[in-house]
Homo-oligomer: A and B are copies of this chain.
Amino acid sequence: MNLINKNNKVLIVGLGMLGASYAKALKKNGFYITAVTLDPDDIDYALEKGFIDRGYTMPLPEAISDADIVILALYPKVAIEWIVKNQDNLKSGAFITDVTGIKETVVKSINKILRPDLEFVPAHPMAGKEGKGIVQSDDEIFKYANYIITPTAKNTEEGIKKCEELGKILGFANISRLSIAEHDKVIAFVSQLTHCIAIALMGCDTCKSKNNMENYTGDSFRDLTRIAKINDSLWSELFSMNKKALLEQMDVFEESFNELRKMIENDDIDSMRKLMKKSTKRRTRFDKKQ
């Protein structure tokens, strides 16, 4: 069953790291791709590399009105504004999805004002790269990765299936459905908390340049802090918009961290080893299935 095919015109709004990665993956699959993005240099770059067919710095009617599939690769608040300002120029029946890392605010805001003849199926690709911008884009990041769809009561089964198909075309290995509330809680833990940890680690005075810690570190520290190279405008917005769930998961982590701290303080080797055996066993489940 093909709900999506190469005759569907794709519109990608935002050629950041993720939007451009979507463009690369879809271009390889033969789609005709229009991009709307603020920076004309990004359009030149994408045209030159051949992963879009045309680009606009403004969402002119002629740029967006023929799109069958619209991918909002924007910051959360900008994604909402974009729909408010531009949905009148989208064609009836257009399928819209997004890449936003938090769902509650974004989905509710969009659903409240969305034209009834458009369908918005929210999705969150669990793939990315440290840093930001089009030069960081890479469709290889979708390989073996997870794709989460967060349907609402407004979605049709066909719309959700279309979104699943898009996930498969992009190359994701595992496609799941979660409610918006579940998603925001899950993401607070696996994504936002881990970014908080990385940032907090690099924020420690121990990392001041005078201490030359880079000469003494191994890969464990490098891996833990890779994501401390972070897009600050995006992630401060994500943290703030998912504040309640994130603070809860920060507390869950801190409790676990303090339990371990107590074991170390009390030289409680048995409990440490039990916890390490548990962490070793649990971590095996998270290996990428290649």
- Which residues of B are found within 8 Å of A204, using beta-carbon distances? 189, 252-253, 256
Interface size on A, residues (CB 8 A): 92
On whether the beta carbons of B199 and A197 are closer than 8 Å, the reply is: no
Asked whether any CB of chain B lies closer than 8 Å to the CB of A218, the reply is yes
- Which residues of B are found within 8 Å of A226, using beta-carbon distances? 220, 223, 283
On whether the beta carbons of A279 and B228 are closer than 8 Å, the reply is: yes
Asked whether any CB of chain B lies closer than 8 Å to the CB of A259, the reply is yes
On whether the beta carbons of A282 and B228 are closer than 8 Å, the reply is: yes
Stretch at the interface among A50-58, A90-98, A262-270: A262-270
- Which residues of B are found within 8 Å of A243, using beta-carbon distances? 264-265, 267
On whether the beta carbons of A273 and B232 are closer than 8 Å, the reply is: yes
Secondary structure dominating the interface of A: helix
Q: Mark A55-87, 1 if CB is under 8 A from B, else 0.
A: 000000000000000000000000000000000
Among A127, A203, A259, max chain B CB count under 10 A is at A203
- Which residues of B are found within 8 Å of A216, using beta-carbon distances? 126, 146, 148, 176, 178, 183, 186-187, 190
On whether the beta carbons of B126 and A253 are closer than 8 Å, the reply is: no
- Which residues of B are found within 8 Å of A206, using beta-carbon distances? 189, 249, 252
Some 6 contacts from A to B, beta carbons below 8 A apart, are A126-B216, A191-B217, A194-B201, A223-B223, A243-B265, A247-B265
Q: Sorted from nearest, which 6 A-B pairs have the closest CB atoms?
A: A232-B276, A202-B279, A126-B218, A228-B279, A236-B272, A200-B257
